[in-house]
Structure 1
Amino acid sequence: TSVHIPANSLVYDDGSDVVGEISVSLQDYLNMGELIVHNVSAMMSSDRMLSSEGVLFVSFAQGNEVLSVKPESLVTIRVPEPNASVDAILYDDGGEPIVFDWQVSGDTMSLKSWDFYWDGKDWIDSGYEFYITGSGWYNIALELNPDVSFNQPICVSLPRELFDGINSDVFLILDEYDTVVPLEMNSEKMLFCASFSNLPQDSDATIVSISSLGEGNYHFGMSHAIINMDNSELVVVPEPQTKEQILDFLGMF
């Protein structure tokens, strides 16, 4: 993934041109394991599930001051993806990155091919290209439109004597759709839950839990299920694992 910034494209809050060195931060999460490790809520727009092709965070700063992009400037993001889909939509955080209720972006995205020279050779790459108007989170995703879906909360229980919403994170992975959704702790039910309006009927799912019970005391749980209206509550029993073992497990996704 790359960022292309034309000269004199960034401004301070007062609209004046930036002078001097700047820092550019680019974080990309291009598979489900990375999304889980960094606990990025990448897969929901309102209550509808998304299948993400990649989530990115981009920021421009000078010292502690966040910089903006001039309205007429074209700061370009290129995300290589040989199997890029014409149906993918660009979402952004809607100005509320903590909430992560993804909104369809007003920025333009298209499929492109690029020629470049590297290591003494000419190369051609292809994927998604879009322009951004400032710092923030972006999500290249497709909305799930399963043939048969239903609207029902999915909840997961962990052994309550050890695990809660403070020391544990739980994720629902839909294996066939390459999508992962963090579940939130329902303190009233003491369950990790999420509600969806387009949950695919009879889809294969993997439920993953990651817990930290103290310095170096990690637990990892994984369970498989077929999602339907009969299993609104699923059970995961975490087992002690090292951080390295957990990262190896997540590498499968």
Structure 2
Amino acid sequence: MSRIFFIVLIIFTFLLTACVKETDYFIPDGTFEFVGDVQALRQELRPETVFVNFEMPEEETIIPISDRVHLLVDEGTLLDEDGNSFSGEVEVSLRTAAEISEWAGWDFSMITEDGFLDAIASQKIKFHSADHIKLKINPDNPPLIRWLSEEERKEVYLFKRDKGSYKWNFHSTDVVFVEREEITDGVAETTRGYEFTISDEGWYTIGTELLMPHGSDICLKHSEGFTKKNTTSFVTFKNHNTLVILNGWDTANPYKNCNSLLRLPINEDVKVASIAGISGNRYFFDQVSFNLSPSEIEIEMNPKRNSLNQILNRLNN
């Protein structure tokens, strides 16, 4: 009997150990880490890419791409590989961001050369033919992008993020707030929103530049187990739609993360947040509010178990 009990105990211990190894483990330097994939977490925070097909029109036409974005195209708006006006079926792919969680998913900081962006929305559009041949935008007759919005802000401009750069560069003053009557399925509807043109592919953001005196530094000290492999951290501004990703993970202390891109504005009310995605569909979250002082600030972060929907609601509200 005791022998049977001993065998059962060994099997139970083995199974329990296997389960633990699947989710949590100690890394070689003796510190503890949850198993997770921060890139997979960011993917879950992003809106899905939208794909829409349409025939190139012979006159200016409004084409809804998503609930947020409408496209105005005309004959000659798109060019083929040889630079000729394209006619035929077009496939559009659209990526967007307009919520704090979505910018965090794309790993975007709202930083300009001299300050920060109070952003309304970001978008990236690509054009291909139906057989996946890349189409170019006609610089003399570019498409018009409409980002639908009921709210109008002053001093709104267009910014572009170059590939490989973490900063947004001023691109154009060509952003207007327009009310239009659109006809969908034979029904007339009045819509309002921002309109702007783009000259080439890439990420564009409509928003206002914030020029603030900056001199604050932040470091987050996470509880054991939360590292750059499973956790993303960022700062948001209380009075602006602004996000700064914290990517300065400490090599000596794997649980410590600081702002490495740009010193933060002094005396600004902010929140710091950390989200961790752990194997087994487990999510952890912590958020701390405070006012930035001119000196370096170290914040203790203790992420607790939350559902992903709870995290999104807390972030975006």
Work out whether 1:245 is the aligned partner of 2:313: no
Q: Which has the higher strand share?
A: 1
After superposition, where does 1:57-206 map in structure 2 within 5 Å?
Answer: 57-62=124-129, 63-94=131-162, 96=163, 98-106=164-172, 108-118=174-184, 122-146=188-212, 149-159=213-223, 161-188=224-251, 190=253, 191-194=256-259, 195-196=261-262, 199-206=264-271
Gaps of 5+ in 2: 1-68
2:65 is matched with none
Instruction: Determine what percentage of the aligned residue pairs are the same residue.
Output: 22
RMSD, aligned α-carbons: 2.5
Identify if the C-alpha distance between structure 1 residues 106 and 251 changes in structure 2 by more than 3 Å, giving closer, same or farther. closer
After superposition, where does 1:47-62 map in structure 2 within 5 Å?
Answer: 48-62=115-129
Q: Which has the higher helix share?
A: 2
User: Is the CA contact 2:157–2:172 (under 8 Å) kept in the aligned structure 1?
Assistant: no
User: Is the CA contact 2:127–2:134 (under 8 Å) kept in the aligned structure 1?
Assistant: yes
Query: How many residue pairs end up in the alignment?
Result: 245
Identify if the C-alpha distance between structure 1 residues 187 and 17 changes in structure 2 by more than 3 Å, giving closer, same or farther. farther
1:217 is matched with 282
Gaps of 5+ in 1: none
One-letter amino acid of the counterpart of residue 175, structure 1: K
Tell me how far apart the structure 2 counterparts of residues 64 and 189 of structure 1 sit (CA, whole Å).
Answer: 47
Tell me how far apart the structure 1 counterparts of residues 147 and 218 of structure 2 sit (CA, whole Å).
Answer: 33
One-letter amino acid of the counterpart of residue 262, structure 2: F
Tell me how far apart the structure 1 counterparts of residues 289 and 266 of structure 2 sit (CA, whole Å).
Answer: 15
Report the TM-score when normalising by structure 1: 0.84
Identify if the C-alpha distance between structure 1 residues 216 and 174 changes in structure 2 by more than 3 Å, giving closer, same or farther. same
2:10 is matched with none
Deviation at 1:162, TM superposition (A): 0.8
Identify if the C-alpha distance between structure 1 residues 42 and 58 changes in structure 2 by more than 3 Å, giving closer, same or farther. farther
Identify if the C-alpha distance between structure 1 residues 152 and 58 changes in structure 2 by more than 3 Å, giving closer, same or farther. same
Deviation at 1:16, TM superposition (A): 3.5
User: Is the CA contact 1:201–1:228 (under 8 Å) kept in the aligned structure 2?
Assistant: yes
Q: Deviations over 1:135-186 (max 9, x none)?
A: 221101211134xx33233222212x31111211001011112211111133
Tell me how far apart the structure 2 counterparts of residues 103 and 170 of structure 1 sit (CA, whole Å).
Answer: 24
Deviation at 1:119, TM superposition (A): 7.1
Tell me how far apart the structure 2 counterparts of residues 86 and 213 of structure 1 sit (CA, whole Å).
Answer: 42
2:101 is matched with 33
SS at match of 1:13: coil
Deviation at 1:243, TM superposition (A): 2.5
Q: Deviations over 1:61-106 (max 9, x none)?
A: 2344432111211200011233322311100123x1x433111115
Deviation at 1:235, TM superposition (A): 2.1
Deviation at 1:231, TM superposition (A): 4.8
